[in-house]
Amino acid sequence: MTQPSDYLNVGCGNHYHPDWTNIDLVASGPAVRQYDLRRGLPYEPKQFDAVYHSHVLEHLAPADAANMLRDCFRVLRPGGIVRVVVPNLEAIATAYLDSLNQADNGDEMDVANHQWMTFELLDQMTRQRSGGQMMRVMQDPNQINRDFIRSRIGFEMDTPSKAKKTIRRRLSRLVRSTKKQLAIAAVTMLQGKSGRDAYREGYFRQAGEIHRWMYDRVSLARVLREVGFEDAQVFPASESGIDGFDSFGLDRVGSSPRKPDSLYMEATRPRDEVASSVGSSRAA
């Protein structure tokens, strides 16, 4: 019988089930292994029955994302399922165009909705500070279109995610911040203010918050196919081919999707290993 630990949650953030195998750049709790995915998944071939990642793939540059999916393929048993959840480019672009047409009338609420949709498209790729414009708007109690924003991003509107502050986390944060300040001092000495600003921006862009790409149902299915998966299909938030998936409550809060702006896609590692040879040389 499948154990939850045969399920892998990649880039789990602070949204994970403790019985699963969980991994993230930042360990938000003792059940999460701290690891940079760009180094490849630190697991044996064919170790898992399911691999899940939610709002992670878009944080990787396209080449890194394809490598990550290749690695998901490698660690899945034949017949295993990858479930990929990403911001839905098609839905966001459609909502942006709708908001643009509405905003033509100059109505204050419609203009605010259009501004939010522009942020949804661009802010997460271009921001230079954590949280960006989206966080600023979400934290403004006088924001007139809070209901619209909640309909777009769900419960995050009211509970912006925060990692638990354990002593270990505080310490590792202190070490990171001290090293960063030393590096900034060195770069400023050697390259002046522009060097310092470039270092700061590069440091932030490497820290995992920025979106580096977006996907729709066609482009995501294509990448999955290219790395060897078959049968890529779109699912609703509450449905999955992964045994018992919905019981872990990863993609919904109560009866609502946790991240309503999402595209949920699943694909299978073929049982027939000959068919899977279209995958990369990294596939075991």
Dist CA 100 CA 168 (whole Å): 46
CB 31 within 8 A of CB 7: no
Which of residues 15, 70, 74, 83 is near ligand SAM by CB under 6 A? 15
Min separation Cβ 201 and ligand SAM, Å: 17
Site for ligand SAM in 117-176 (CB under 6 A): none
Site for ligand SAM in 37-76 (CB under 6 A): 37-38, 54-56, 59
Dist CA 72 CA 138 (whole Å): 34
Residue 55 vs 114, nearer CB to ligand SAM: 55
Dist CA 164 CA 242 (whole Å): 29
Which of residues 40, 195, 208, 241 is near ligand SAM by CB under 6 A? 208
CB 43 within 8 A of CB 8: yes
**263 has which bridge partners?**
86
Name the phi and psi angles at 40, rounded to 5.
90, 155
Min separation Cβ 194 and ligand SAM, Å: 27
Q: Which residues contact 159 (CB under 8 A, 6 or more apart)?
A: none
Min separation Cβ 22 and ligand SAM, Å: 9
Residue 22 vs 145, nearer CB to ligand SAM: 22
Cα dist from 222 to 48, 61, 217, whole Å = 23, 16, 9
Residue 127 vs 196, nearer CB to ligand SAM: 127
Name the phi and psi angles at 237, rounded to 5.
-55, -35
Between 176 and 205, how does the x/- string for binding to ligand SAM read (CB under 6 A)? ------------------------------
Min separation Cβ 53 and ligand SAM, Å: 6
Mark 215-237 as b/e (b = at least 16 C-beta within 10 Å): bbbebbbebbeebbbeebeebeb
Closest by Cα among 83, 89, 30 to 262: 89
Nearest residue relative to ligand SAM (C-beta): 13
Number of residues that bind ligand SAM (CB under 6 A): 15
Which of residues 7, 8, 12, 149 is near ligand SAM by CB under 6 A? 12
Residue 206 vs 233, nearer CB to ligand SAM: 206
Residue 56 vs 224, nearer CB to ligand SAM: 56
Between 79 and 118, how does the x/- string for binding to ligand SAM read (CB under 6 A)? ----------------------------------------
To the nearest 5 percent, what fractions of the chain are helix, strand and coil? 45, 15, 35
Min separation Cβ 28 and ligand SAM, Å: 7
- Footprint of ligand SAM (CB under 6 A): 11-13, 15, 24-26, 36-38, 54-56, 59, 208
